[in-house]
Amino acid sequence: MVSRIPQLQRFVYSHYFYGGLRQAVGVLLPALVLVGAMQMYSVGMIAAVGAGCVAILDQPGGPRRYGTNGMLAAMMLGSATVLLTGLASSHSLFIWLLVPTLCFAFSMLTVFGKQGGLLGFACLLIMTLTMRIPLSPHEVLQHTLYSFGGGAFYFLFSFATHRIFWHREEQHTLSAALFATADYMAARSAFYDVNTELEANYRRLIHAQSAMTEKHQAARDTVLRELPRGQGRNDKLRIASLNVFIDMVALLDTLVATHTDYATLRRRVPDSDVLIFARDALRKLSGNVEHIALCVARDKAASERNSVKAELRAIEFELVSYRTDGMAEREPEIYALLVQILRRLRNATRLVERMAHHTGKQASIELVDMRLDKSLDRFLSRQTWRLGMFTSNLRLDSSHCRYALRVAMAAVLALTVSAALARTGLLNRVVPGLSAHSYWIVLTILVVMKPGFALTRQRNGWRLIGTLIGCGLALALFKSTENTDVYLAVLVIACVLGYSLILVNFMLAALFNTVFVLLAFHFLTPDGSSVIGERLVDTLLGCGIALLCSYVLPWWEHSYMGSLARALKNANQEFLRTGLVFADLARARLRSSAMAADRAALTALPGEEEVLPGEGIVEEAEVRWRLARKNMHIAFSNFAAAFYRMMDEPIKRQKNVPELNNLLIQNHVLALQITSAIPILCNLEQVPPGIQSSLDAIQAYLDDKDAEPPASIETEGELATLAYPLRQMVKASQLVRQEMRSIQ
């Protein structure tokens, strides 16, 4: 059994921890300076809140340009929010009008994707923390300037750390993608274990693939935006990262191309040692990739830890035995499949060894793929912010509008509940119309409520458990010591871990954020016990209101599934179409090359060269095919994530579950077999009639047309390696067509 790297070690060296440390330092530094050097407690807290608003947009991983633009937007829009909230804070009626309005407007920013959602949350956070204390008109401008100063400080701090540690950020993002690739490889290895359940293996594999797709896109956006420019030291660092990235993508291609019908494989050769050796080899390679990921994160040279030579030699021996027994003639497709598995494992081993070499001091200063050019710009993610995207969603049949209305309604309910509690005297400290800590109810709602019902309910539970444990830990800390140095140390640690874990474990993040907030308020008003009680009560109220309002104008995931299924089918269709175009052009180039060689041998004149037609066209076709593959992975990830979110919703809200589950699996099979078949088609001199008829049938099924695939196709020689993927593609496309009709 290959030992896996502990999750704690992976976390400590991850970009999550590094990003959390950067965010915590940037948020706490202005407060610590103002409080420690000038004893300006309130000013320090205001500056920290402004910095914290901007820090929300400074997420680890992904394009730095988007983070920079997002921080600038948070700084400007957050300051405007502080100004408006401050002016309204001393007037109960204005607060009741302003808070729901801002909740609706900023929640609508989810139409702009992840960055828009983060920007909206950052502004709502600073709105909530500004309304905690009523401000007189002459204090509002001062408060706004302090908040803007904190945000500006964090922006400059983050910009400076990026300029200094740009390579470390790049390594951390690349390391996260490598870890995700290792997890995907480990999930794939389970398919070769006859003692595991295939359905459970598919669920684990799809989860791992969805996570890997996100991490790969983040690495792509980070690494490919920093292409080498000259011959300096920075370019050597960029080349090393690019080489690891290129080989990581090539490794994924190799793994994807090994897919087969594992049920048939288990049925035809259930006792074969090839399956055991393939499982062990893939697990060892997964461990090696994980080790490389850790070394990349630590900026250390990696060495191969687990050799797979024994497993490869054993598979070779088994294949020789099968060939001697006549399997190659009796069952050519199964034998070709086993040979293909061996070839892919060899190629994967070579790529893993080369990735380890890229991390060393003797790494090559040349790119392993010299085709890196401006075409790679098309693989980067793009975000567009158009006013039309906002206004066109201002309707009740928009999920974004429904979510914004739910948040606004929850805010109104929170203000009503807090005002009622204040008037009845259940809370000790009262301000006009609101309790002193009523903003915690609103804050809890903003943190917990998400566009999807399942995610809201899930975060409700995590938030409650984290808050309860955090309050208990803070109370124990207050009872055990009164040393302010200990409090300050715990506050800093809690802040770092709260920021670091927000994308990893929401419950632990809620725990540490609770400890951090309680300690911060202890320094402002040293009455820890009452603050803990109010914090717990307000969190319970906020979670209850958020869960209640999640049933208002709900937008269930099954409403999305049809469109996401069509998008996935279209992405697979485009993946196949561009692949066939690429294969046709590659075969044409092979024929032109052979004809040119013959003509050169017979009639070439001295000093003349034969120019092959279409040299650049083939490369362009390959780029388009790879771009279509990336889009297919994204569409698959979107569909899988929505499907599993639907499965967390109430049972009566789950529709077409068997059909959608089958669509998930068959689209996965189809995509993997396309990846396996296209390279083989590229190397054929011509496509035999049976294989061409199968390809035509697959395209017809995906076009929702009738087709008659041939009963048999050519399996002589190398064609045996193509026959099996084609049969799987025909079967998968038939089932995709059938299930798509059933859910329409």
Separation CA 260–CA 282 (nearest Å): 15
What are the tens digits of pLDDT across the range 12-37? 888 888 888 999 999 999 888 887 77
Domain boundaries along the sequence of the chain: 1-164, 176-197+239-369, 396-555, 558-598+614-743
- Is the distance from CB of 413 to CB of 390 less than 8 angstroms? no
User: Which amino acid does the sequence have at 57?
Assistant: L
Q: Report how far Cα 178 is from the mean position of its chain's Cα atoms.
A: 13
Residue type, 388: G
Give the pLDDT score at 382: 64
Give the angle 251-253-255 at the CA atoms, nearest 5°: 70
pLDDT of 425 = 59
**pTM for this structure?**
0.80
pLDDT at residue 64, rounded to an integer = 63
For the residues of 49-81, what is the DSSP string, one character each? HHHHHHHTT--SSS-HHHHHHHHHHHHHHHHHH
- Cα gap 180→185, rounded to integer Å: 9
One DSSP character per residue, 198-237 reads HHHHHHHHHHHHHHHHHHHHHHHHHHTTS---SSSHHHHH
CA distance 30 to 34: 6
For tokens 């975060």, the residue is: 459
Q: CA-to-CA distance for 296 and 626, rounded, in angstroms?
A: 26
pLDDT at 220: 82
Enter the tokens of residue 331: 């069952």
Residue 363: predicted pLDDT:
61
Rounded Cα gap, residues 677 and 668, in angstroms: 14
Q: Please provide the size of the chain in residues.
A: 744
**Which residues 6+ apart lie within 8 Å of 570 measured at CB?**
635
**Weakly modelled stretches of the chain, pLDDT under 70:** 1-4, 61-66, 225-233, 256-261, 304, 361-383, 424-438, 524-531, 593-615, 714-715, 717-718, 720, 744
For helices 689-702 and 558-603, give the axis angle rounded to 10 degrees: 150
The residue among 375, 255, 256 whose CA lies nearest residue 624 is 375
Predicted confidence (pLDDT) per residue in 289-347, tens digit: 999 999 988 888 887 678 888 999 999 998 898 888 888 888 877 887 788 888 888 99
Task: List b or e across 586-603, with b for residues whose CB sees 16 or more CB atoms inside 10 angstroms.
Answer: bbebbebeeebeeeeeee
